[in-house]
Structure 1
Amino acid sequence: MDLRTEVLEDRFVRLEPFTPALEAEVRAALDCDPDAWDIMVGAAYGDHFDGWWASALAAMAAGSRIAFAVRRKADGAVIGTTSLYEIKPDYRRCEIGSTFYRPEARGGAVNPACKRLLLGHAFEAGAVRVEIITDAINPASGAAIRKLGARDEGVLRKHKITWTGRIRDTAQFAILDEDWSAVRARLDERLAAFA
């Protein structure tokens, strides 16, 4: 698996790998909705942003993550972030996550467009497994992941500790290479409805 750090785009979004030039736009996009950050492993709004940003850049330098700014094509605004991370070339697997969209960008074409691009990039690079995880107390996120066509693989108990100190159970999902053609067709059909 050879995941390259490059721009990914379709007619809805442009995913731009983090660079220092994007820092201010990403900061502005994430500095909202504190309640949404409460259930995340790490926070990236307000005073939390600098440490989060530095950690993302360090993981990119180490080759374990590709963090993207999500730019909405309709108006050119950066409206969130998403990542390919836990990149394990030897096992040909990675995760999609660290995803946050501004409230006004939720519920439309942005999330399926991002997932279509990220999944396509991973499987075209030779991945055999792409994982997507979420907090088990977030049923809306779990439903959105199932809607992608990912398979539910159960709950990892006491899997992570969030930035607030809460011990989190994690709902685990995955899409395998043999699932990709059906998942891709489903995503393409969903995105065609937004044309």
Structure 2
Amino acid sequence: MRIAMVLLEDRFVRLEPFEEALRGEVRVALDSDPDAWDIMVAPAYGDHFDGWWASALAAMRAGTRIAYAVRRRSDGAVVGTTSLYEINPAYRRCEIGSTFYRPEARGGPINPACKRLLLGHAFDAGAVRVEIVTDAVNAQSQAAILKLGAKAEGVLRKHKITWTGRARDTAIFAVIDDDWPEVREGLDRRLVAF
């Protein structure tokens, strides 16, 4: 499995791999809802942004992450970020995460469009498993992940320590290659409705 660091797009979004020219637009998007970062593992807004940005670029250089700016095609605005990360070619697996959207970009076609592109890119590259994880207290995120077609696999107790010091339980979801045709069809049907 080798996941290429390429631009991905459909009629709703353009996923642009991080590069220095995107830094300012990504910062503005991530600063749009500071309260949303309270339950995240690591913050990426305000004074936290520079360290987060540097960490994302370092992981990209190491080949373990592809971080994307999410550009809304309808108006050209960068409305958030998402990543393929924890890329493990030996196990042919990766995760989708580090996802944040500006409030006005939530609840429409942006998230399913991003997930359709990312899942397709990973499976086309030979992945057999793509995980999506979230905080076990984040019921809204879990509902959105299930709506994508991922299967719930359980909760890892005290799996991560968040930037606020809280021991986080992590809800684990996954799409495996056997599930992908059905999940892809469901996402395609969903996106046609927008």
**Quick check: TM above 0.5?**
yes
For 1:143, the equivalent position in structure 2 comes to 143
Residue equivalent to 1:19:
19
The question of 1:99 aligning with 2:115 is answered no
Supply the distance in 2 between the matched residues of 1:56 and 1:144 (Cα, whole angstroms). 24
Shift of residue 32, structure 1, vs aligned partner: 1.9
SS at match of 1:42: coil
CA RMSD of aligned residues (A): 0.4
In structure 2, the residue corresponding to 1:156 is in which secondary structure? strand
AA aligned to 1:156 is L
Write the distance in 2 (CA, Å) between the matches of 1:27 and 1:190. Answer: 30
For structure 1, the 5+ residue unaligned runs are: none
For 1:66, the equivalent position in structure 2 comes to: 66
CA distance in 2, matches of 1:182, 1:147: 13
User: For 2:187, what is the secondary structure of its paired residue?
Assistant: helix
Aligned residues with identical type, % of pairs:
77
Number of equivalent positions: 194
Aligned match of 2:132: 132
CA positional deviation for 1:104? 0.3
The separation in 2 between residues aligned to 1:146 and 1:111, in whole angstroms, is 13
| Structure 2 stretches lacking a partner, 5+ long | none
Residue 183 of structure 1 is matched in structure 2 by 183
Q: Provide the residue aligned with 2:163 in structure 1.
A: 163
- Distance in 2 (CA, whole Å) between partners of 1:60 and 1:164 is 26
4+ aligned runs moved over 6 Å, structure 1: none
Q: Specify the code of the residue in structure 2 equivalent to 1:68.
A: Y
Aligned to 2:37: 37
- Report deviation, 1:181: 0.3
The CA distance in 2 between the partners of 1:121 and 1:58, in whole Å, is 21
Looking at structure 1, the residues matched to 87 and 123 of structure 2 have their Cα atoms a distance apart, in angstroms, of 13
Residues 115-169 of structure 1, C-alpha deviations (whole Å, 9 max, x = no match): 0000000000000000000000001100100111111000000000111111100
The 2-side partners of 1:149 and 1:24 are apart by: 33
1:121 aligns with 2:95: no
User: 1:54-83 CA distances to partner (integer Å, 9 max, x unpaired)?
Assistant: 000000000000000000000000000000
Q: TM-score scaled by structure 2?
A: 0.99
Task: State the alpha-carbon separation in 2 of the partners of residues 189 and 175 from structure 1.
Answer: 17
> Could you tell me how far apart the structure 2 residues matched to 1:165 and 1:48 are?
16
What is the DSSP-based 3-state SS (H/G/I as helix, E as strand, rest coil) of the residue aligned with 1:90?
Answer: coil
Say which SS state the counterpart of residue 38 (structure 1) adopts: helix
Q: Distance in 2 between matches of 1:17 and 1:42?
A: 20
- The 2-side partners of 1:86 and 1:130 are apart by 10
Distance 1:26 1:44 in 2: 10
